[in-house]
Amino acid sequence: MLGRVSVYAFERIGRELELMPLSARRAADLAGLRPSLDGWKSLSRQLRETLVELGRVPQVDTRVVAEVLAGARPMAQAISPELDPPSGAAPESLLSALGGERPLTPAVWSALSALDRYALVKVARKGASERLNEAYQEIVGVSAYSTHLDSRGGARMVSVSEKPASARRAVATARVSMNSEAFERLLRADAPKGDVLGTARLAGIMAAKRTSDLIPLCHPIALTRVEVALELEPAQRSVRIQSSVEAFDRTGVEMEALTSATAAALTVYDMLKAFDRSMVIGSTQLLEKSGGKSGDFRKTAPVAGPVERFSISEAPLSVDEAVRRVSRADAGGIAVFIGTVRDHNLGRPVQLLEYQAYASMAVKEMERIAIELEDEIPGTRLCVFHRVGALSIGDVAVICAASAAHREQAFRACRELIDRVKQRVPIWKREHDPSGSSWIGWEDARLPGSVG
């Protein structure tokens, strides 16, 4: 009955030719009935439409199918009811017929509709390789390599109708780093736009519920719980956001958790941007998920490697982190230098500083300086963090830390370290004052006579 037309081309033109479409054939097979072509033609158009629709749904109502076919003349032949091919993996007979050049993985097979699976098995039974290839290309095609693509390579929403519903949970985090003025507003809760943390929390909850409207191909999910927590981190002048999302559904809620955390972070930015437009939103990540066929996931700490003690970064600097990177059991003292942006220079007011650097060259020069000093002052360990980008008054621009067995060595190493960094590391700055701005090259800031 399939002829030389493709599976769903046959489905489309079936009614015009008065042939029995595959969807109707599936409905009859599952009901244990086999109507003849004359019996099919004897049915009214409305009954044939009903049978076609019954065969397209995942679960066929065989009772209604039998009632529809009871009106066929001649009457449909009774046969042993067929079962739909299992959804977990394609039958071996089909895989054998397809061969290695036409892959059909369990994931791709499970993503097909029940009618798609029926059609492939039905065509394979006919034993015609050309027809099977046509059916494979039309039903599977490019989706053999990704369940998120249709047979022709277009993006599609993956069907989850046959997946069992189960408890799903996901946790995601995001962080917003800012200058001192914006963070002080948070601490005092006196931002002009109102309650920053409360509004961001509400934005995170709302975003989780609207994720399918924002992210293409995401399924709408009936969430059972969304919790958004915001924690202030004074040392980093940042807000850490954690979003926990739960549902009892057929697909996971990782995107809902990530969207929630991101929306909360964007809301923090929007409500504080008047004080710092260079805020950094970063480290948005999934921490854990549970439920579903893929099992549980929990983000693990990266494998420990060499500790980076020298860096150039646009993110706010952490004194605690610098101390941690030079700490060790045999150190009797740790000295730290913190360079901050002040509101004047050589009698001129300063409103803002911009730092730039050749990052890779700057880090290498820091490392060379450290090697020299650790050789000159045995038993020391050094660390340099330098920030680049736009910095406001009070922002930390550079941190130098030195540990040693004795405090005198730590003091000396830290002082030498910052002096040599200012002398040799290719970092320069631009000062902004009420009358304009001007660049100060790193060579102009060398010791002695530094104007930095």
Q: How confident is the prediction along the chain (452 residues), in pLDDT tens digits per residue?
A: 333 334 444 444 344 445 788 899 999 999 999 999 999 999 999 999 999 999 999 899 999 999 999 999 999 999 999 999 998 889 999 999 999 889 998 888 888 889 999 999 988 988 778 888 888 888 888 676 665 555 565 656 666 666 678 899 999 999 999 998 999 999 999 999 999 999 999 999 999 999 999 988 888 999 999 999 999 988 778 899 999 999 998 889 999 999 999 999 999 999 999 999 989 997 899 999 998 877 788 876 544 444 589 999 888 999 999 999 999 888 889 999 999 999 888 778 888 888 888 888 889 999 999 999 988 998 899 999 999 988 889 999 999 999 999 999 999 999 999 999 999 998 888 888 888 777 775 444 333 433 33
Q: Are residues 188 and 136 in the same domain?
A: no
The most distant pair of C-alpha atoms in the chain lies apart, rounded to whole Å, by 108
- Residue 411 near residue 335 (C-beta atoms within 8 A): yes
Active-site positions read 270
List the one residue out of 415, 384, 249 whose CA is nearest residue 321: 384
The pLDDT of residue 7 is: 47
Which DSSP symbol is given to 15? H
Q: Are residues 335 and 414 in the same domain?
A: yes
Q: Kindly report the number of other CB atoms within 10 A of residue 105's CB atom.
A: 13
- Residue 131 near residue 204 (C-beta atoms within 8 A): no
> End-to-end CA distance of the chain, in Å?
87
- Residue 36 near residue 5 (C-beta atoms within 8 A): no
Q: Are residues 206 and 259 in the same domain?
A: yes
- Residue 326 near residue 334 (C-beta atoms within 8 A): yes
Domain of residue 366, residue span: 310-445
Last residue of a domain, one of 298, 319, 339: 298
The pLDDT of residue 12 is: 44
317 found inside a domain: yes
Please report how many Cα atoms fall inside a 13 Å half-sphere around the Cα of residue 434, on the Cβ side.
Answer: 4
Last residue of a domain, one of 298, 323, 356: 298
304 found inside a domain: no
- List the CATH number of the domain containing 207: 3.30.70.640
Last residue of a domain, one of 298, 326, 345: 298
Q: Are residues 259 and 332 in the same domain?
A: no
Q: Are residues 185 and 282 in the same domain?
A: yes
Q: How far apart are CA 264 and CA 199, in angstroms?
A: 8
150 found inside a domain: no
154 found inside a domain: no
137 found inside a domain: yes
Q: Are residues 29 and 131 in the same domain?
A: yes
Q: Are residues 110 and 187 in the same domain?
A: no
List the one residue out of 378, 381, 370, 395 whose CA is nearest residue 335: 381
Amino acid at 396: V
156 found inside a domain: no
173 found inside a domain: no
Q: Report how many domains make up the chain.
A: 3
The pLDDT of residue 142 is: 67
Q: Are residues 329 and 438 in the same domain?
A: yes
Q: Are residues 12 and 139 in the same domain?
A: yes
- Residue 374 near residue 381 (C-beta atoms within 8 A): yes
Q: Are residues 128 and 237 in the same domain?
A: no
Q: Are residues 340 and 288 in the same domain?
A: no
Q: Are residues 284 and 329 in the same domain?
A: no
For residue 151, what is the enclosing H or E element?
A: none
List the one residue out of 311, 329, 306 whose CA is nearest residue 383: 311
The pLDDT of residue 135 is: 87
99 found inside a domain: yes
Q: How far apart are CA 337 and CA 273, in angstroms?
A: 30
Q: Which burial class, exposed, middle or buried, applies to 45 when counting CB atoms under 10 A from its CB (0-12, 13-18, 19+)?
A: exposed
- List the CATH number of the domain containing 424: 3.90.1170.40
